[in-house]
Structure 1
Amino acid sequence: MSLDVVDLRSFYAAPLGRIAHRYVARTLREWWPNTTGMAVIGLGYAVPYLGQFRDEAVRVIGLMPAEQGVLHWPGTDVTSTALVEPASLPLPDGCIDRLVVVHLLEVAEHPREVLDEIWRVLAPGGRMIVVAPNRRGWWARVDTTPFGFGQPFSKSQLNTLLRDTLFSPERFGEALYVPPLRFRSVWRLAAMFEACGCWLGLPGAGLHVVEASKQLYRPIPLRKTAKRGIPKLDPVLAPVAGRLARRSQPSGRDGSIARRTGSIERQQR
């Protein structure tokens, strides 16, 4: 099930969306403290988390899936967003240094194809951060937020998915220990929920935040080749001298002519 860009924009304008933005953006900034001179791309609905990189990165662009829709960002005359097909990005190979994936993998029909395309456009040594709902968390169990749609992941599932698509997971983090409830009292305690959950390492956070790097070389997959039929070789019992003698005799029409000539000569004698 795809998410609509209008619903996503409304969510991040609401109190729960601002809480989600605060703690996810803080993790992104801690892991990427300096992106000076880099090209930073957001894939999915990642524009709420890209603004903190605009003052230092050489290029910041938001790429949004066609099924989701696109909006104008960052609010100036020139837009920095584009509508794309996630499994076929309009980018050359190895042109991106940092890439943020939010609101995409859980609703993607073929997440492996999306990650293969991300691997292609990332530069050697480039890094990616994936934000995905935790299947053990509260946020994946309610549909009042965008993180309740699609297929949530466990930590081991994300790790396997990234390794199968030739990424090296570097760091795993979690965010949103606060319950996704629409009560002001819960919103005021969000900082306490987050601090206690991170300090105690409690299970049940709403989101997985994973950083992975691109492996420079892709191994070539082995393909099964068709077995070629080998002719059966029967043993030859004739002596070597006999075989050589037979090989030295002419064959075919020339051989028959030679035999006839020999018999005529013997008769004349």
Structure 2
Amino acid sequence: MYLDVRDMRRFYEQRIGLVVRQLVGQRIQALWPDIRGMRLLSLGFTTPYLRPYLRQAERIVVAMPAQQGVIAWPPEGPSRTTLVDEGNLPLPDACIDRALLVHTLDLSNDSLAVLREVWRVLVPGGRLLAVVPNRRSLWSQFETTPFGYGRPFSRGQLSAFLRQTRFVPAAAEGALYVPPFRSRLVLRSARGWERVGHRLWPAFAGVLVVEAEKQLYQTIPKEPEKAAARLLRPVFVTDVPPRGTAGTSRHGRTSPSE
């Protein structure tokens, strides 16, 4: 179940939201440092992380699910946002180079349909970057942040989920080792938490940032039984009567000897 877009915006305007924006944004930019000339699709609530790509990408499509609602972005210039049906994106096949999903797979009622649709619009070899709450973290347990709603993932679960929809995981990072508390003291030390946590307890990151590549497979015939029927079948020597003797046909009639 998606949260209301106004609640999302309100969270990211608070002090804790600004910390999340900074720490998660660093991981996203570490995996995608340069997307110049590429077409970027973002799905969910992604606007806190798109500013670095605004002047890089050839085009940015900020798709917000209808269940969540939509806001205009960026504040300056023409808006890049659009309201969409997450399972039926208004885009042609193979037209997008990169896809960023934040607050999407964990909140959607049909995450498999979302991934299949993203796979459809990506070019061959296109890349997906998904940000999801980590099942082992405190962030997935507290409903004071958007990461405490919906479905959290372990790294293995997310990798299996991506492979099920013909994506190949390529890289994974963790972010948000700071506890999900609004204490000013805790938030001021967020960078220190991030450095120590990344080294000492990487499995307990608040969110997982996973990159995957669109994989193409050889097509399978629509009617495999007909294709199999065209294959030659072996004939065993024991099925042929000896030369000079009478044999019995498959229908019980005696065949003349040679």
TM > 0.5 between the two? yes
Query: Does residue 233 in structure 1 map to residue 246 in structure 2?
Result: no
What's the TM-score, normalizing by structure 2? Answer: 0.87
Give me the whole-angstrom Cα distance separating, in 2, the residues matched to 1:173 and 1:236: 74
CA contact (8 A) 2:2 2:107 kept: yes
1:31-84 C-alpha deviation (Å, 9 max, x unpaired): 111111111111000111111101111111210000000001001342110000
Aligned match of 1:135? 135
Quote the residue 2:160 is aligned against: 160
Which residue in the other structure is 2:59 paired with? 59
Cα distance in 2, alignment partners of residues 202 and 213 from structure 1: 23
1:23 touches 1:176 (CA, 8 Å); kept in 2?
A: yes
1:109 partner letter: N
Deviation at 1:176, TM superposition (A): 0.3
Is structure 2 residue 22 aligned with structure 1 residue 5?
Answer: no
1:217 partnered with 2:217: yes
Amino acid at match of 1:2: Y
1:47 — aligned with what? Answer: 47
| Matched letter for residue 144 of structure 1 | T
What is the RMSD of the two structures over their aligned residues, measured on CA atoms?
2.1
Report the Cα distance in structure 1 between the residues aligned to 2:50 and 2:182, rounded to whole angstroms. Answer: 26
Secondary structure (helix, strand or coil) at the match of 2:193 reads: helix
**Structure 1 residues 14 and 225: CA distance shift in structure 2, 3 A:** same
**Deviation by residue 1:117-136 (Cα, 9 ceiling, x = unmatched):** 00010111111100000111
Q: Deviations over 1:15-35 (max 9, x none)?
A: 111111101111111111111
> Could you tell me which residue of structure 2 aligns to residue 258 of structure 1?
none
SS in 2 for 1:203: helix
Residue 114 of structure 2 is matched in structure 1 by: 114
SS in 2 for 1:104: coil
CA drift at 1:239:
2.9
Q: 1:190 to 1:213 in 2, by over 3 A?
A: same
Structure 1 stretches lacking a partner, 5+ long: 242-269
Question: How far apart are residue 189 of structure 1 and its match?
Answer: 1.2
How many Å apart are 1:12 and its aligned residue? 0.4
Give the 4+ runs in structure 1 shifted more than 6 A: 221-224
Distance in 2, Cα, partners of 1:181 & 1:222: 54
The more displaced of 76-85 and 149-158 is: 76-85
Which residue is 1:147 aligned to? 147
SS of the residue aligned with 2:117?
A: helix
Assess if the C-alpha contact under 8 Å between 1:4 and 1:68 holds in 2. yes
Q: Distance in 2 between matches of 1:222 and 1:200?
A: 51
> What secondary structure does 1:113 align onto?
helix
Check conservation: 2:63, 2:84, Cα contact below 8 A: yes
Aligned partners of 1:76, 1:58: CA distance in 2, in Å?
A: 18
Hey, what's the Cα distance between the residues in 2 that align with 1:213 and 1:235? Answer: 60
Contact 1:46 1:102 in 2 (8 A): yes
Whether contact under 8 Å (1:42, 1:100) holds in the other structure is: yes
Q: Quote how far apart the aligned CAs of 1:200 are.
A: 2.2
33-42 or 64-73, which moves further after superposition? 33-42
Counterpart-to-counterpart distance in 1, 2:224 and 2:147 = 42
Q: Whole-Å Cα distance in 2 between the matches of residues 76 and 198 of structure 1? A: 36
Q: Distance in 2 between matches of 1:181 and 1:153?
A: 21
Query: What are the ranges of 5 or more consecutive residues in structure 2 without an aligned counterpart?
Result: 230-248
Change in Cα spacing, 1:18 to 1:223, as seen in structure 2 (3 Å) is farther
Q: Tell me if structure 1 keeps the 8 A contact 2:166–2:216.
A: no
